[in-house]
Each structure stands twice: as C-alpha cells, then as structure tokens.
Structure 1
Amino acid sequence: MSSTFLLIAFCIYCVSLLVFVIGITGKKSLQVDNPEAYVKKWGNAGFALTILGFASQATYFFTRWAEAGHIPNSNMYEFMTMLGMMIVLAFIIVFLIYRAPVLGIFALPVAIIMIAYASVFPHDVQPLIPALQSYWLKIHVTTASLGEAFFAVGFAAGLMYLLQNVKFGSKEKGDRREQRGVEFTLFTLVMIVAFVAAIFGFNAAGYHAQYANDVTVTDKNNVESTVKQTVDYVLPPLVKPYNSVQVNMQPFLGMTEAPFEAPSWMKGSNAGRKFNTVIWTVICGAVLYGLLRLIARKPLGAVLQPLMKGIDPEDIDEISYRAIAIGYPIFTLGALIFAMIWAAEAWGRFWGWDPKEVWALIVWLFYAAYLHLRFSRGWQGKRSSWLSVIGFLVVMFTLIGVNLVIAGLHSYSGV
C-alpha cells in the first residue's frame, strides 16, 4: 500500500512541474493579455497539485512506518524518499512566503530526482540493525533531512539566479568560467537522471551478474574471521570485486567477464560493485548530456535562461538566502548536536572522525562561511548564488558519495 501512495505522489509532482512550466512559458508563447494573472493562475494550480502530492507522500510515509514498525528512514530507499518529501515541504513553506511560481520549475525537479534515485534501491522493509534502535533515529535523521531540504531550495533559487545572470554568449575568460560552472551543475543533475534510467533499463532487461570473494569481518569482541560473500550486479561489471571469482554473468556487448578489478585499497561493503556503479553513472551521464547538447546545439544553461526573463533577480537571491538561513539552524540541530548526543549513547563518544561525521561537519562549516560572507562581507548576487550551488553539491556528495562509496559506521545506509 505504501508504495502505491509514493507512486501517486511521484506522478502528481511530475504533473505539478508541468503546470508550473506551462504557467511560466505560456505567458510568452501565447502572448496573453494579462501575463501576471496568467502566471498566478497556473502557479496556484501547480501549488495545489504539489500540496496534493505531498499529502499522498505523507500517507506513504506513515503507512510505511506502520508496515515497518519503525520510522522509515533507516536505509537509502527510505531516507531518499523522505528527503524528497522534505524538499517538497521546504518548497511549500518558501512558496507561501514569496509566491514565486518559477521556483517550482527548479525546486520540484530536485525532489523528483531524489524520489526516482531512491527507487533504484531495495524496497523491502528491513529490520533495524542494533545501532539504529533508538528514538534518536526519528529526531536526528528527520531534522537533518529537513535542513538539507531547505539547502536544496536555496540551491534551486541560486541556480535560477546564475541561469539568469551568467552571460552564455560571452567569450570573456571570466564568463566562460561561469558558463562551465553552470554546465557542470546541470551535468551533475543529468548524471543522476541517467543513472536512474540505466538501472531501470537493465532491471527491465533482467540483467544479472554475480561474484564471490572472501571478506574479513570483526565481531563485537574484535575477533576477526573470514567469510564468503556474494556480490550481485545489476549493471554490467566493468569492475569486479577485488580478488573475486565470477559465479555467473550475462554477456553484454560481447563482454563475458569484467575487464578490470577493483584496487585492493578500496575497502567497504561491496566496494567493487559501488565503484562499478560510479563508473556507469559517469558514462550514462556523459551520454545523456551529450545527446541533450546535440539536440539543443547550445549549452543547457543557455536553453534554460529564457525561463528567467521577467523575474526580479533580487527576489531570487533573497529566496536562496532565506531558504538557507532557515535550513542552517535545523541542520545544526539534526546533523551535529542530535547526532553527537546519539553517538555518545550508541558508541560512547561524541565524535569519532567517521567519514559521514566529517562530511556533515564540512557541510556545516561551508554554510557557516556562506552566512558569514553574506552578513559581514555583503556577498550577494552571483557570489552568494555560487556558494548556494556549491554547498548543495557538497550535500549531495555527503548523501550519495559518502554513503555508497566510503566505508564507515554509516555504511549500513548504503544497503
């Protein structure tokens, strides 16, 4: 039942995005007599659909909670779907303050991408591992994700500002550098979309490969032992696990075995498969981005720039700043203070230099620098927008790269 409500929410979000796009682009293409009233009407319709989608996803959240017996934020599928819901909630709050329909064109896709990305992970309800059996799971993860959701809205508004003000037709060195920065940001989003499409494509084709290797595990008494581990691949293995034996593999483009092996220093659960996933993500992203560039015959930023015409840049800059200003104290509570209290209870220390802890601190310090520069140095406009965009890219690396690639105490979230 919960999965059905999530699918309904996903579809409604897509329709809502389309309504926002019609509202912004239609005022130009249809040459309406009263553009402001036209945009307001379609913006309100898109917002109403967003509320409906959020209600459906909230129903998914609580029905999943009832099915699992615990709050659904204990693995990547549950956390990423919750993050998508929180991004929509943050968008709703910001929209009610500023009434800017154009924000829906950039904030909703981020939520849609998060939910689509979550769908590539196992959907099965999983029992909580001992480390997660605490009421702090509800408090820590929920507040941290809400803070990150406001960072996502700040990112969307910051990207809007850059799309509006970067000179895509200029050949000046500084302008070319800004063009490349915007394109890299768009490429990152395209890469995630391409990865999701690749996973669904190979799943639909029934592709499967499996390897076996010996891994060393340490029990609670610090006694090491060697166990046999099987690793399942959904994407064709370009990189197999280190020192592994191929159990079976479906041929792909004439390839009957993996051409490369993961390096021995790459540790962590299923490190070879995760490294293979990273490689496929970059390849698929490059292919999709190349196709979009071929169709558009110009940078994607230049394609999106006309959507920004008629929008007050100061309003966009203010929206980006306010979203981050709201999210920062929430993130501070959830990702640092509550996390350290829980760590002290679970592991007997407030801080342990675990990779996820380190990157959460990096995110916190980055946004602290953003707010400091905004207040004390008067960084607004482009400089502030660049920081909001870069900051969320750091957040995405913390959520995806650290969880899935770097081994640590939070590696369970990559299962």
Structure 2
Amino acid sequence: MDSSLFLLIAFIVYNAAFLSFVIAILGKKWNQNDPEAHIKKWGNVSIGLTIVGFLGHVSFFFLRWAEGGHIPISNMYEFMTFLGMMIMFAFIIVYFLYRAPVLGAFALPVGIIIIAYASVFPKEIQPLIPALQSYWLKIHVTTAATGEAFFAVGFAAGLMYLLRSVNFKSKEAADRKEQRGVEFTLFFLVMIIAFVVSIFGFNASGYHAKFANDVTYTDKEGIERTIKQPVDYVLPPIFKPYQGEQLDMKPFLGMTEAPFEAPSWMKGANAGRKLNTVVWSVLAGLILYGLLRIVVRKPLGTALSPMLHGIDGEDIDEISYRAIAIGYPIFTLGALIFAMIWAAEAWGRFWGWDPKEVWALITWLYYAAYLHLRLSKGWQGKKSAWLAVIGFMVVMFTLIGVNLVIAGLHSYSGV
C-alpha cells in the first residue's frame, strides 16, 4: 500500500481533531448548565482523533522507510513530515500531563501547517547521498526534530498566553507594541499557509517555467568543469537565476519573462528559485492576511483573543515552560552533541561554521537564555511567552530560511 495514503488520512484526521478542539472550547456556550462536562466530552473526542491521526502518521513513516530502504528524514519533504509527526507526539504527551483542550486548538494547527508545507517539496524517494549514509542520520535528525517539536508546543502555549493577556483594546504605546508583535506572529503563520495554497494552486493549473544556468564544479581529477543546470519553477518567476537562460515559460498575467534577476551574491543550488520562493511567500501572505482582515474587520489577534477568555493564564504559562524544558535537553543531544560527533566522522572536524551549524547553535543559546531568565531572573508570564514565540520563529528560520536562502554543507536537505 502507498505510504502517502496514510499521510493523507492522518492529515484529514488531524484537521478533524482540530475542529473538535475548537468545539470543545467555543461549544461550552451551548451547554450553559454543565460547561465542564462539555469540555471534557469533546476534549476526549479530540485527543482520541489526534491519537488516531498520529497512528496513521506513524504508519506512513514506517511504510515509506520500507519503500525507500532508509529512514525517511533525508530531504525537506521527509524531514518536515517527520517534524509534523513529532509535534503531534509532543502535543499528546503535554496534553496528558495537563488535560488542557484549549492547547489543541493552537498546537494542532502548527503541526498541520508543517505537514502541509512539507507537501510542496518533491515527494519522490531518493537514494541516500554518501554524506547521509550513516547510522548517525537516524540519531542526530530524529532527536533534533523531537526537541524542536516540544519547542513548537511551547510556542503554541506562549502564543495562547499572549492572545489572552495582551490588551487589544488599549491605545497605549506599550500595548500597541505588543499588539503589533502578536499580529506579526499571526502573519508569519498566515504566510506559510498562503505559500502552501499558492503552490497547490499553480500546480493544479499546470503552471511551469524552466531556466538553465551555468554551474561550475571540480571533478575527481581536480579539473573545473561547467555544465548547464536546468531549474524548474512552479511559481511564476519574479526572479530568474543569475545569468540564467530562459528555456520555457507559461505566461502569467501577461508576464512572459522574469522581470528581475537574482543577485550574483546568492550562491548555492537553485538560488534564484529559492529567492523567488521567499518573495512569493511574502506576497501571498500579504494577500491572504489582507483578505482575512477584510472578513473579520479587525486585527487577527483581536479576533482570536476572546477564545482565551476564562482560561487560566498560569496554566498556559506553565505548559509553555514545561514543553520547552522537555525539548531543550533532547535538542541539545540531537542538534549539537550527536551532530558534532557525526560531523567529526563525516568531515573530520567537530565544528566548521556551516550556516546550519551556526543557526543550530544560535537556537540552542537562545533557549538556554530562555531557561536561565525563567529560572534565575523570574521571567514568567508575558516575558516568558514572548521568548517562547520568538524562539520558535528562530527554529523555523533555521529549518526553512537557511535551507531556502543560505548555501552550505546542509544544502542537500533543501531540495
């Protein structure tokens, strides 16, 4: 049986679980006599659906492993689907610790967005390149992703805390600053959703554009050679590859050629297409965000804030902290210690200032500062929530931004 079918089933069930969690929170108004019974009932239904979805996701993971003959975490499609699975796993653990259905309404969408984002990358099973043919691949990537998954749950709880505690009605400068911060965070999530929708939309319409550019490499004899490398675009090319030659392009809104060229300083595989992807993500995000603002007729943070009324802020704050506290040592093992051991085996050095290594270290230092400020300086409540939200955005830049924009030894994962 095709493994992708199980991922599709898991994705659908996760969405059903999310809607069920929303009913658990908002539907308590329908049962004024015993709202706690309503929340408990729908909370049990929701977590049951989440577990069913997770089991389907696990089935996808092991079936794809059997199909490919290696653990499916070697490219962006496989890694992001695995990260989505571990976010659901982390949520299930935290849920049973705190029994807070409201967390599901915010944590599940993070996992769902990650899985949807994974689907825009090539799904073909690819043989492992020599650099990845090591048992350290299983150890390093799985533990790093598990730590990041708990950070994602901490992010969801931190965002919940901010939506509950920020005064969206105030016109004071400090409050307006916080309102803008929450709105930017929501725009960041909307931007990822818009990007996924754009990819599916252009794929469905059959849009395509193809370029070629010269790529110079050194062969085994040490001789420099230049070849023409084809570059396929799914999104209309606002930026073509640097000194790229246009081979074919389907017109879009009268545009028959790319208006701009990627700058020469952007290096790495498919740099022009990656820049084009980033620009399209921002443009699509602005359009979708604008449409949502027109529909709700207010900032998104203001619209979502009433959902959190009546929720104990201290509980949400504690959930965010505990999730990050669980994830931090796991991330330390996976992203730093195991990564350095593997780097020493593969490249003959523990550290080489590769962009992905640098950003993994930045992420680790950031969460170390979070825990220090939380435990030693008493940063709780809003301060802690802001750190949790910003921290996961650093994680997402490490996972997505570094692969899309910055070239390095980990570029193979950004196919």
Task: Please report the TM-score for the alignment, with normalisation by the length of structure 1.
Answer: 0.99
Structure 1 window deviating more from structure 2 (293-302 vs 211-220): it is 211-220
1:401 to 1:72, Cα distance in 2 relative to 1, 3 A: same
Aligned to 2:134: 134
Structure 1 window deviating more from structure 2 (157-166 vs 210-219): it is 210-219
Matched, 1:6 2:7: yes
Counterparts in 2 of 1:41-56, with a 5 A limit?
A: 41-56=41-56
Asked if structure 2 preserves the Cα contact closer than 8 Å seen for 1:117 and 1:196, the reply is: yes
CA distance in 1, matches of 2:344, 2:405: 25
Residue 20 of structure 1 aligns to which amino acid in structure 2?
F
Aligned to 1:19: 20
Post-superposition offset of 1:327? 0.1
Counterpart secondary structure, 2:286: helix
CA distance in 2, matches of 1:174, 1:182: 13
CA distance in 1, matches of 2:222, 2:102: 55
Post-superposition offset of 1:197? 0.2
Structure 1 window deviating more from structure 2 (36-45 vs 222-231): it is 222-231
Aligned to 1:338: 338
CA distance in 2, matches of 1:290, 1:78: 32
Counterparts in 2 of 1:217-236, with a 5 A limit?
A: 217-219=217-219, 223-236=223-236
Counterpart secondary structure, 1:67: helix
Gaps of 5+ in 2: none
CA distance in 2, matches of 1:139, 1:220: 31
Aligned to 1:61: 61
Asked if structure 2 preserves the Cα contact closer than 8 Å seen for 1:148 and 1:331, the reply is: yes
Q: Give per-residue Cα distances to partners, 1:335-386, cap 9 Å, x unaligned.
A: 0000000000000000000000000000000000000000110000000000
CA distance in 2, matches of 1:322, 1:223: 55
Post-superposition offset of 1:161? 0.1
Post-superposition offset of 1:218? 3.1
Aligned to 1:75: 75
1:369 to 1:220, Cα distance in 2 relative to 1, 3 A: farther
Task: Please report the TM-score for the alignment, with normalisation by the length of structure 2.
Answer: 0.99
Post-superposition offset of 1:222? 5.2
CA distance in 1, matches of 2:284, 2:299: 18
Counterpart secondary structure, 2:248: strand
Counterpart secondary structure, 1:230: strand
1:236 to 1:48, Cα distance in 2 relative to 1, 3 A: same
Residue 4 of structure 1 aligns to which amino acid in structure 2?
L
CA distance in 2, matches of 1:374, 1:406: 32
Aligned to 1:201: 201
1:347 to 1:104, Cα distance in 2 relative to 1, 3 A: same
Post-superposition offset of 1:213? 1.1
Post-superposition offset of 1:31? 4.2
Post-superposition offset of 1:220? 5.5
Aligned to 1:110: 110
Counterpart secondary structure, 1:246: strand
What percentage of residue pairs aligned between the two structures are identical?
76
CA distance in 2, matches of 1:361, 1:157: 24
Residue 281 of structure 2 aligns to which amino acid in structure 1?
T
Counterpart secondary structure, 1:231: strand
Counterpart secondary structure, 2:190: helix
Asked if structure 1 preserves the Cα contact closer than 8 Å seen for 2:275 and 2:404, the reply is: no
Counterpart secondary structure, 1:210: strand
Q: Give per-residue Cα distances to partners, 1:169-207, cap 9 Å, x unaligned.
A: 111000000000000000000000000000000000000
Post-superposition offset of 1:32? 2.7
CA distance in 2, matches of 1:80, 1:266: 24
Residue 70 of structure 2 aligns to which amino acid in structure 1?
H
CA distance in 1, matches of 2:235, 2:169: 39
Post-superposition offset of 1:215? 1.1
Aligned to 1:325: 325
Asked if structure 2 preserves the Cα contact closer than 8 Å seen for 1:20 and 1:105, the reply is: yes
Matched, 1:291 2:291: yes
Counterparts in 2 of 1:248-287, with a 5 A limit?
A: 248-287=248-287
CA distance in 2, matches of 1:72, 1:346: 20
Counterpart secondary structure, 1:397: helix
The number of aligned residues is 414
CA distance in 2, matches of 1:221, 1:318: 59
Counterpart secondary structure, 1:71: coil
Counterpart secondary structure, 2:217: strand
Counterparts in 2 of 1:297-312, with a 5 A limit?
A: 297-312=297-312
Post-superposition offset of 1:219? 3.9
Residue 90 of structure 1 aligns to which amino acid in structure 2?
A
Post-superposition offset of 1:137? 0.5
Aligned to 1:364: 364
1:220 to 1:351, Cα distance in 2 relative to 1, 3 A: farther
Asked if structure 1 preserves the Cα contact closer than 8 Å seen for 2:211 and 2:246, the reply is: yes
Post-superposition offset of 1:405? 1.3
Gaps of 5+ in 1: none
Q: Give per-residue Cα distances to partners, 1:134-168, cap 9 Å, x unaligned.
A: 00000000000000000000000000000000011
1:150 to 1:43, Cα distance in 2 relative to 1, 3 A: same
Residue 15 of structure 2 aligns to which amino acid in structure 1?
C
Asked if structure 1 preserves the Cα contact closer than 8 Å seen for 2:31 and 2:38, the reply is: no
CA RMSD, aligned part only? 0.8
CA distance in 2, matches of 1:45, 1:193: 26
CA distance in 2, matches of 1:413, 1:164: 38
Counterparts in 2 of 1:367-382, with a 5 A limit?
A: 367-382=367-382
Asked if structure 2 preserves the Cα contact closer than 8 Å seen for 1:32 and 1:38, the reply is: no
